[in-house]
Structure 1
Amino acid sequence: MAKRPAPPPDVQTSLLEDERGFFAEQVIKPKGSKKAPAAVKPDAAVHYHGHRDRVRAKYREHGDAALADYEILELYLFRSIPQRDTKPLAKALLERFGTLAGVFGAPISLLQEVKGVGEGVAVDLKLVATVAQRMLKSGVRNKQVLSSWSSVIDYCQAVMAYETREQFRILFLDKRNVLIADEVQGQGTVDHTPVYPREVVRRALELSATAIILVHNHPSGDPTPSRADIDMTKTIADTAKPLGITVHDHIIIGKDGHVSLKGLRLF
Structure 2
Amino acid sequence: MGTGSDDDERSFFSEAPIRPAAKARTLDEKPHYLGHRDRLRERFSAAGGDALPDYELLELLLFRLIPRSDTKPVAKALLSRFGTLAEVLGAPVGLLQEVKGIGPAVALDLKVVAATAQRMARGEVRGREVLSSWQQLLDYCRSAMAFEEREQFRILFLDKKNALIADEVQQVGTVDHTPVYPREVVKRALELSATAIILVHNHPSGDPTPSRADIEMTKEIIDAAKRLGIAVHDHIIIGRKGYSSMKGLLLI
Specify the TM-score bucket, using the shorter chain as the normaliser: 0.7 to 0.9
Question: Quick one: distance in 1 between partners of 2:231 and 2:149?
Answer: 30
- 1:187-202 counterparts in 2 under 5 A? 187-202=172-187
The change in CA–CA distance for 1:88 and 1:147 in structure 2 (over 3 A counts) is: same
The change in CA–CA distance for 1:78 and 1:228 in structure 2 (over 3 A counts) is: same
The question of whether the paired residues in 2 share the 8 Å contact of 1:223 and 1:258 is answered with: yes
What amino acid is aligned across from residue 72 of structure 1 in structure 2? L
Deviation by residue 1:185-212 (Cα, 9 ceiling, x = unmatched): 0111111111111111111111121111
Structure 1 match to 2:154: 169
Question: Quick one: distance in 1 between partners of 2:88 and 2:134?
Answer: 26
1:185 is paired with a residue of what secondary structure?
strand
Structure 1 match to 2:134: 149
**TM-superposed deviation, 1:55:** 2.1
**TM-superposed deviation, 1:149:** 1.4
What amino acid is aligned across from residue 106 of structure 2 in structure 1? V
Structure 1 match to 2:192: 207
**TM-superposed deviation, 1:51:** 2.2
Structure 1 match to 2:68: 83
Structure 2 match to 1:182: 167
Q: Percent identity?
A: 69
Question: Quick one: distance in 1 between partners of 2:51 and 2:188?
Answer: 48
Deviation by residue 1:123-169 (Cα, 9 ceiling, x = unmatched): 22112211211111111111111122111111111101111111000
**TM-superposed deviation, 1:61:** 3.4
Question: Quick one: distance in 2 between partners of 1:84 and 1:67?
Answer: 20
The CA RMSD measured in Å over matched residues stands at 1.9
Question: Quick one: distance in 2 between partners of 1:134 and 1:145?
Answer: 16
**TM-superposed deviation, 1:240:** 1.1
The change in CA–CA distance for 1:66 and 1:42 in structure 2 (over 3 A counts) is: farther
Structure 2 match to 1:108: 93
The question of whether the paired residues in 2 share the 8 Å contact of 1:73 and 1:100 is answered with: yes
Question: Which consecutive residues of structure 1, in runs of 5 or more, have no partner in the other structure?
Answer: 1-39
Question: Quick one: distance in 1 between partners of 2:24 and 2:213?
Answer: 62
Mapped pair 1:237 → 2:222: yes
The change in CA–CA distance for 1:88 and 1:41 in structure 2 (over 3 A counts) is: farther
Structure 1 match to 2:115: 130
Question: Quick one: distance in 1 between partners of 2:24 and 2:153?
Answer: 54
Q: Aligned match of 1:253 in 228, 231, 238?
A: 238
The change in CA–CA distance for 1:184 and 1:122 in structure 2 (over 3 A counts) is: same
The change in CA–CA distance for 1:50 and 1:108 in structure 2 (over 3 A counts) is: same
Mapped pair 1:63 → 2:53: no
Q: Aligned match of 2:145 in 149, 160, 163?
A: 160
The question of whether the paired residues in 2 share the 8 Å contact of 1:45 and 1:84 is answered with: no
- 1:42-53 counterparts in 2 under 5 A? 46-53=31-38
Structure 2 match to 1:266: 251
Give 1 or 2 for the bigger CA radius of gyration: 2
- Runs of 4 or more consecutive aligned structure 1 residues displaced over 4 Å after TM superposition: 40-45
With 184-193 and 133-142 compared, the bigger mean Cα shift is at: 133-142
The change in CA–CA distance for 1:192 and 1:57 in structure 2 (over 3 A counts) is: same
Question: Quick one: distance in 2 between partners of 1:58 and 1:204?
Answer: 48
